[in-house]
Structure 1
Amino acid sequence: MPVLPGAEPFRHEGGEAGVLLCHGFTGSPQSLRPWAGYLADRGLTVSLPLLPGHGTRWQDMAVTGWQDWYAEVDRELRALRDRCARVFVVGLSMGGALALRLAAKHGDSVAGLVLVNPANKVHGLSAYALPVARHLVRTTKGVAGDIALEGAREVGYDRVPLHCAHSLRRFFRLVDAELPQVTQPLVLLRSPRDHVVPPADSARILSRVSSTDVEEILLEQSYHVATLDHDAERIFEESYRFIGRLAPGVGKKGSVSGG
């Protein structure tokens, strides 16, 4: 299936500091493309992959699971490590959970984390029904597009395959158990008016990681997809400041590739 317009992966060859960006569940690189472009314009090496089953149609996603999504970002991290002296991982929503597992598993190979409205749990009573319900019902209503900014749009699916939701629930439980292994510097930016991921998820993550260099920032003007919302520029600036603090001298010219 062809990739939806705007959902293409993005890469930029820049300097010795690299950034891996992880998009969210049923979303696409489009939600993080402005952030990736901001970092690329400042000379960082950037990788924004398209997760398997995403960016086309929900039927393609229905045959994938967390192992496929994690394997993709794991490969991208290893490729960046071969190219860069220091690599940072950033993520939105489920992308935050992917980033946390990379940090837990790869240790010092990940220099720092920037998490935007990171998800830690599939909420609601329906979550407990997923093991059975996924065999009876194929999909449920989508979660994409929670944005306060008028006219802003997220390229994502309007349906959630229940098989994938079940896999996501298992993944969140796995990552939650691994959070004490996360020791890297961390910036967590969250929206108090997030209609997809509740504040409890961020609180849980911050209470369980072993990181000592931690900053929490509130995004008062934005909903869940804050990277496309009113606070987007603040996210970009805070992440660049964070990276610059830990990797002084970032910023060289490079080349861009997309699609």
Structure 2
Amino acid sequence: MRLLPGAEPFTHDGSSTGVLLCHGFTGTPHSLRPWAEYLADRGLTVSLPLLPGHGTRWQDLQRTGWEDWYATVDRELRELRRRCATVFVCGLSMGGALALRLAARHGTGVAGVAVVNPGVTFPSPAGFLLPVLRHLVPSTKGIVSDIAKKGVAESGYDRVPLHAAHSLRRFQALVRAELPRVTQPLLLMRSARDHVLAPGDADLVRSRVSSTDVTELLLPASFHVATLDHDAERIFQETDAFITRLAPARDKEDSP
């Protein structure tokens, strides 16, 4: 199956500090590629996988569910842990939810979490209608490219498959229940205006995690896909500083 432009996964072999990045629902690695490349250019080992059902056509996503998406990032994390002394997880939107569950499940195997606009709830009333609606309507309009920066578009689907959306909603409930198990340092970045997420998702994450080391960052000039928006460079810099603070040895020994 032919991939959408920019949907290719990205990997980079670097230092003993590894970073796993997780893209969002109906999106592709394209939305996180600049973030991944920025960290790779600083000498880190980076993995940015393409999630199952993504990057081809929306009908392929209809045949997958959260178990498939989570299994992919879990496998990638285990591989990074095998190769690296220290591993961080990052994510955008649903990718943020995936990163948070990895942190909850892997404990000390994850050194820190950096998320941008993490999606842990499904907007109402659409979410309540999904159990029935998904059997009547196969898809609805897409949610990609919520970007304030003119001339920038996200590679992803222009339709949302409702069976997959129903699975996402069930996954978000699991993540919310497991947030108290997240104890790692957390970098929580949120856009001032977000036309995709339900209001308050970042607040919910902040209130439920058990992390005592939490840095919150407002992204004033960006919409949902902030990693391709006006505040992207700040996201990259803050993530690098966050990792450097928690894995300072790589700053001296591994950076180019």
Fold match by TM threshold 0.5: yes
Match of 1:179 in 2: 179
The whole-number CA distance in structure 2 between the counterparts of 1:158 and 1:59 is 11
Match of 1:114 in 2: 114
TM-score using structure 1 length: 0.96
The whole-number CA distance in structure 2 between the counterparts of 1:246 and 1:240 is 10
Query: Does the residue aligned with 1:249 lie in a helix, a strand or coil?
Result: helix
Asked whether the equivalents of residues 117 and 189 of structure 1 are also in contact (C-alpha less than 8 Å), the reply is yes
Structure 1 alignment gaps of length 5 or more: 255-259
Asked whether the equivalents of residues 147 and 223 of structure 1 are also in contact (C-alpha less than 8 Å), the reply is yes
Match of 2:193 in 1: 193
The whole-number CA distance in structure 2 between the counterparts of 1:199 and 1:112 is 25
The whole-number CA distance in structure 2 between the counterparts of 1:244 and 1:37 is 16
Q: Which consecutive aligned stretches of 4+ in structure 1 deviate over 3 angstroms post-superposition?
A: 251-254
TM-score using structure 2 length: 0.97
For residue 226 of structure 1, what is the amino acid of its counterpart?
A: A
Query: Does the residue aligned with 1:53 lie in a helix, a strand or coil?
Result: coil
Shift of 1:67: 0.3
The whole-number CA distance in structure 2 between the counterparts of 1:193 and 1:126 is 20
Shift of 1:199: 3.7
Shift of 1:125: 1.0
The whole-number CA distance in structure 2 between the counterparts of 1:73 and 1:182 is 17
Correspondence 1:238 to 2:256: no
Q: Deviations over 1:98-137 (max 9, x none)?
A: 0000000000000000010001111111211111111111
Asked whether the equivalents of residues 14 and 253 of structure 1 are also in contact (C-alpha less than 8 Å), the reply is no
Structure 2 alignment gaps of length 5 or more: none
Shift of 1:15: 0.2
The whole-number CA distance in structure 2 between the counterparts of 1:253 and 1:29 is 24
Match of 1:91 in 2: 91
Shift of 1:75: 0.2
For residue 116 of structure 1, what is the amino acid of its counterpart?
A: V
The structure with higher relative contact order (CA 8 Å, sep 6+) is 1
Q: Deviations over 1:3-33 (max 9, x none)?
A: 1121100000000100000000000000000
Show the 5 A alignment for 1:16-55: 16-55=16-55
Q: Deviations over 1:199-221 (max 9, x none)?
A: 41000110000000001100000
Match of 1:151 in 2: 151
The whole-number CA distance in structure 1 between the counterparts of 2:200 and 2:35 is 25
Q: Count how many residue pairs are aligned between Structure 1 and Structure 2.
A: 254
Query: Does the residue aligned with 1:52 lie in a helix, a strand or coil?
Result: coil
Correspondence 1:13 to 2:13: yes
Match of 1:257 in 2: none
Shift of 1:197: 1.2
Asked whether the equivalents of residues 28 and 54 of structure 2 are also in contact (C-alpha less than 8 Å), the reply is yes
